[in-house]
Amino acid sequence: MIIGILALQGDFALHQAVFNKLEIESVQVRTPRELSKCDALVLPGGESTTLVKLVKKNNLETAVKNFGREKVIFGTCAGLILLANKVINQPISPLQILNITVERNAYGRQRESFIDFIDLNSTFEIKNFEGVFIRAPKITQIGEGVKILASYKNSPVFVESERTLGATFHPELTNDTRIHRYILDKIKDTL
């Protein structure tokens, strides 16, 4: 199993460190050719408008969409924004892979970033997970086929639809690997 991590901008190295800790091979992805060698893809947090531009500049838009039809994709923060069907407060064109609507920076700017416990659903044995929210988006609408895996103050923060998963927070910034292990289980189910 090889996990690709989109390495155009953002905190891709932190996701790679988690997979290293779990002894799972991961590679940094910057081109469609590199993506084609992967069994799954992580879209990391970063700056969403920059990430969208770089995906297009590197000819990855179609490659990522096609990849998502067959394999697991997991987006965190800006990566989630990139996966969404619609972004309501920013004129960017997301990939429309995950049937959700999001609002960028919904909790405020950098200084309003925070850490608080989120509630994982019954899929997880332990329900509390430390959520790190940095200029985090908010999922404002859930479309058909999207399952809520975790909530924060009754708002969805971790969702999945078939092979696509997204989190508004940064699980890679904690020592808790449950979210990444859940992603690995999803990948194993598709291999």
| Distances 97 to 79, 129, 130 between C-alpha atoms, Å | 11, 26, 26
Q: Catalytic annotation on 170?
A: yes
In the set 15, 77, 103, 160, the catalytic residue is 77
Which strands form 98-103's sheet, in the order they lie side by side? Answer: 84-87, 98-103, 138-142
List the beta bridge partners of residue 26. 3
Is 77 known to be catalytic? yes
Q: Which of 15, 103, 172, 180 is catalytic?
A: 172
Q: How many CB atoms lie within 10 A of CB 123?
A: 11
Which residue is catalytic, options 38, 103, 160, 170? 170
Beta bridge partners of 41: 4, 73
**Known active-site residue 103:** no
Give catalytic residue positions: 77, 170, 172
